[in-house]
């Protein structure tokens, strides 16, 4: 059963300006693994923006928004497998959401172009599996 669906779109320039400001935004929002991945990309700001959008989309699918989840942005980690397929790994306080909310599978899709990035997240409930 689907627990929630979330989507988010963001301007790449907005994320780029925050990351380039060097005031801790990058470390506050992104995990060490995400930073390492994005920094290796030719279009790193598009990758950062897509990950930011995925975190927002996850919180929307959860139905809590940022303030109601108890999770920090860097605890919602976006990874890619060997074929580039993205996935979400929950760390720290965010990991507790799996048990508290009865979360089963989490599906994520990312897309980005020069100016915008978009993500969609679908969360399945453990009920009915």
pLDDT digit string, tens, across residues 52-104? 999 999 999 988 766 666 788 999 999 999 999 999 999 988 888 777 888 88
* Percent of all residues in the chain with a pLDDT value above 90, rounded to a whole number: 73
Q: Is 60 a catalytic residue?
A: yes
> What's the pLDDT at 48?
97
Candidate CATH numbers 3.30.365.10, 1.10.1330.10, 3.90.470.20, 2.60.120.1140; the one for domain 2-125: 3.90.470.20
Helices (H), the chain: 12-21, 25-29, 32-40, 44-62, 65-69, 92-101
Dist CA 101 CA 62 (whole Å): 8
- The answer on whether 81 is annotated among ligand-binding residues is no
Q: Would you say the pTM of this structure is higher than 0.85?
A: yes
Q: Which of 18, 55, 74, 112 is catalytic?
A: 112
Dist CA 27 CA 49 (whole Å): 14
**Would you kindly state where each structural domain of the chain is located, as residue ranges?**
2-125
- The answer on whether 34 is annotated among ligand-binding residues is no
Q: Which of 18, 60, 105, 114 is catalytic?
A: 60
> In a 3-state reduction of DSSP, which class is residue 94?
helix
């Amino acid at each position: 059963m689907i627990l929630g669906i979330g989507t988010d779109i963001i301007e790449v320039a907005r994320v780029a300006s925050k990351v380039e400001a060097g005031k801790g935004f990058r470390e506050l929002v992104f995990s060490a693994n995400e930073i390492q991945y994005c920094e290796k990309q030719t279009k790193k700001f598009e990758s950062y923006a897509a990950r930011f959008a995925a975190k927002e989309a996850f919180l929307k699918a959860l139905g809590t928004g940022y303030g109601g989840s108890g999770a920090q942005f860097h605890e919602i980690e976006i990874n890619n497998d060997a074929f580039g397929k993205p996935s979400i790994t929950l760390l720290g306080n965010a990991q507790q959401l799996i048990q508290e909310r009865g979360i089963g599978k989490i599906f994520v899709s990312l897309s980005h172009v020069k100016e915008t990035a978009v993500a969609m997240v679908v969360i399945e409930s453990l009920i009915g599996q």
